[in-house]
Structure 1
Amino acid sequence: MDAEAARALIHSPASLERVGRDPQALRRAVRQGELRRLHRGRYVRADDWSAMRPEDQHLLEVLAVEPARRGGDVVASHESAAVLHGLPLYRRRPRGVHVSGPRTRGVVSAPGLVLRHEVEVARVDRTQVGGIPCTTLQRTVYDLIRTTPRETAVAAADAALRLVAWSEAERSYSLIVAEQWRQELLARIARSSGRRGIRQARWVAAFADGRAHLPGESVSRLYLDDLGFAAPRLQVPFEGPGGRRYEIDFGLDDVDAWGEFDGEGKYFDPTMLRGQTSREVFIREKEREDWIRGRSRRSFVRWGSPHITSAEALRRRLADFHIAPRR
């Protein structure tokens, strides 16, 4: 969800009064769970809220806080800048809206809603997304990979590299563009020696790969590395019947196997189904898997979100198919 779509879901008392919500009825609707209060004078319908991904919920919180700003050089940062840039927050639910600046003058907030970082944000590290002042994509990733758990950090770094290096029009990923961006990030990290989280940031920046399509693929890569597998090839092209092109999530070449992370959206999300039924997608995937297994003579294993709750959970899933690291 982008900022424009999110704004359309946020209501003020005036807009609610126009459809018959007087102040007393408004308070009653909040108490009864029909409306959710985001910030002073900003509400969202509970049904809309419950249907959102956590990242979209936090985006609404960021947008709800923004009207309280009164100038100054404070910008949205960390997880709050991440949702503006469209980055995932894998297993991370922010406790409040993150803002950064040398001072917090100009930001008005309810206690506990805004998390302030008293830090100078250079002009080159500031931008606007959807009309909201925030840290740039690279500064945002730098902050995230220092301060969030590895799973969150790797998923965000992979997604950022995909944003800068993937061309949807050409369906291609530029290794040159990705590496240039990575080296700029590593240079920023090198200038920050001694700061909290720098060791993890350096490792995540080197490990990141924008060819991972989903956060689940990113975390799968992380756990495969933890388990001792060699670095897999990502989005491996494979020739299908009639010249069709398939792509396989993971080429586990050290164990002569293919691996795929199956997000639930593939079978249920209308935007991913593209007019097909879940049954049609399932049958197509079965035919694809049979073709790849038969033509390559390799094992083919799928896993989903329940299998990446930890590295151990993924190890057990792979072991069920007699797949284990050789080192």
Structure 2
Amino acid sequence: MDLPQLILSSDSTRLGRDTRTLARRAAAGELRRIRQGVYVPAVAWDALPRWDRYPLLIQAAASTLQSRTVFCRQSSAALWDLPVLGSSPLVHACTSDDGGGRSRAGVRRHFADPESLQVEERRGLLVTTRVRTVLDLAAFESFEQATAALDHVLKPQPGLPALSKEELDTGIGADYSAAAARRIRAALDFADPASGSPGESVSRALMHRLGFKAPKLQAEIRDARGLAGYSDFEWPEERLCGEFDGLVKYRKAEYLQGKTPSEAVIDEKRREDRIRSTGRRVVRWTWTEISGPAKFAAFLTAQGIPRRLRPACRR
């Protein structure tokens, strides 16, 4: 999706225009100020899905920072089209200052050794490499975020090849502490390219952490007519299927595959009816249910999802 053009107060100053005009237009609801000195048309901003707003915030930060910046972690992930969990407006950037970790004007700086840091260009901005970005997420963010990012890069994406577990493990090198390397390898060992979406990855990671029995992914379900479809999750012994419904598949073109949203909903209903006709019970959930470990644990327990004999160690 094409992002709206940024309107900079600094450009108005260079052109000799009164920058107060932009503030008045924002007060009138014509513009949205997304960063100090940076505006976008209100209609364009309001039409943007949540996942497209964050990259625009990164572009806004880049346009106001005094020197060219290398973006990292969640910000680099967004520019690499990796799944980023949550909705924090903070932009993440590298610094060679050993202190790191400071936030100023909506930008959080993280130490990166300039001797080992490899940088690429993405959407006109400097970012940490795809491998480094994924490893940083696995080292410093939640197990759920790590799983979502790793599942994503283990399969090919438009214009980008799949990364292998061996390649990612090699990338750890000496850039991380022993504890961070253990976190990365635990997530890497758990990662599975069969996961069909970030929501499925988060669901699976939470199930693992909460001690629920591991499901089969993308399980083939057949009825008397043949292939009924594939279930996101299946517990065969319990004759139970789980489906994550992120709603995005009814809105984004790559999920719709030429169908209208209403056609996609109807096809989904028919697929689920055929799965139920095999005697399986189908449990569905959304981002609401996986918004917190306690909430998801209560939901899974109420739905009869089986537990392992022992819960996994908490991350």
TM-score range, shorter chain: 0.7 to 0.9
Distance in 2 of aligned mates of 1:35 and 1:46 = 4
Distance in 2 of aligned mates of 1:126 and 1:92 = 25
Aligned: 1:290 with 2:264: no
* Cα separation, partners in 2 of 1:252 and 1:92, compared to 1, 3 Å: farther
Distance in 2 of aligned mates of 1:242 and 1:14 = 65
* Cα separation, partners in 2 of 1:83 and 1:71, compared to 1, 3 Å: same
Equivalent residue number for residue 316 of structure 1: 298
* Cα separation, partners in 2 of 1:195 and 1:9, compared to 1, 3 Å: farther
Equivalent residue number for residue 150 of structure 1: 143
Deviations 1:165-217 (Å, cap 9, x if unpaired)?
23779xxxx9xx65xx2222223336345366443322222212232222211
AA aligned opposite 1:157: L
Counterpart pick for 1:276 among 243, 246, 260: 260
CA contact (8 A) 1:9 1:44 kept: yes
Equivalent residue number for residue 88 of structure 1: 83
Equivalent residue number for residue 302 of structure 1: 284
Equivalent residue number for residue 72 of structure 2: 77
Distance in 2 of aligned mates of 1:68 and 1:196 = 36
Deviations 1:101-151 (Å, cap 9, x if unpaired)?
4369xxxxx942332223224577211112211111110011112222232
| Structure 1 counterpart SS, 2:7 | coil
Equivalent residue number for residue 233 of structure 1: 216
Equivalent residue number for residue 199 of structure 1: 182
TM-score by length of 2: 0.79
| Structure 1 counterpart SS, 2:289 | helix
Counterpart pick for 1:117 among 105, 110, 118: 110
CA contact (8 A) 1:154 1:204 kept: yes
CA contact (8 A) 1:100 1:117 kept: yes
Instruction: Determine what percentage of the aligned residue pairs are the same residue.
Output: 32
Q: CA deviation at 1:245?
A: 6.5
CA contact (8 A) 1:79 1:94 kept: no
Equivalent residue number for residue 57 of structure 2: 61
* Cα separation, partners in 2 of 1:26 and 1:186, compared to 1, 3 Å: same
* Cα separation, partners in 2 of 1:166 and 1:248, compared to 1, 3 Å: farther
* Cα separation, partners in 2 of 1:141 and 1:92, compared to 1, 3 Å: farther
| Structure 2 counterpart SS, 1:226 | helix
CA contact (8 A) 1:100 1:120 kept: no
Equivalent residue number for residue 107 of structure 1: none
CA contact (8 A) 1:13 1:42 kept: yes
Counterpart pick for 2:202 among 201, 209, 219: 219
Aligned: 1:99 with 2:93: yes
AA aligned opposite 1:191: A
What are structure 2's unaligned runs of at least 5 residues? 310-315
Q: CA deviation at 1:159?
A: 2.0
Counterpart pick for 1:132 among 125, 134, 152: 125
* Cα separation, partners in 2 of 1:15 and 1:188, compared to 1, 3 Å: closer
* Cα separation, partners in 2 of 1:54 and 1:145, compared to 1, 3 Å: farther
* Cα separation, partners in 2 of 1:69 and 1:281, compared to 1, 3 Å: closer
Distance in 1 of aligned mates of 2:36 and 2:48 = 21
CA contact (8 A) 1:155 1:218 kept: yes
Counterpart pick for 2:156 among 162, 166, 186: 166
Equivalent residue number for residue 9 of structure 1: 5
Give the length in aligned residue pairs: 300
Between Structure 1 and Structure 2, the one with more helix by share is 1
Q: CA deviation at 1:277?
A: 4.6
CA contact (8 A) 1:98 1:117 kept: yes
Distance in 2 of aligned mates of 1:118 and 1:226 = 30
AA aligned opposite 1:85: W
AA aligned opposite 2:21: A
CA contact (8 A) 2:117 2:128 kept: no
Q: CA deviation at 1:22?
A: 5.7
TM-score by length of 1: 0.76
Distance in 1 of aligned mates of 2:140 and 2:86 = 14
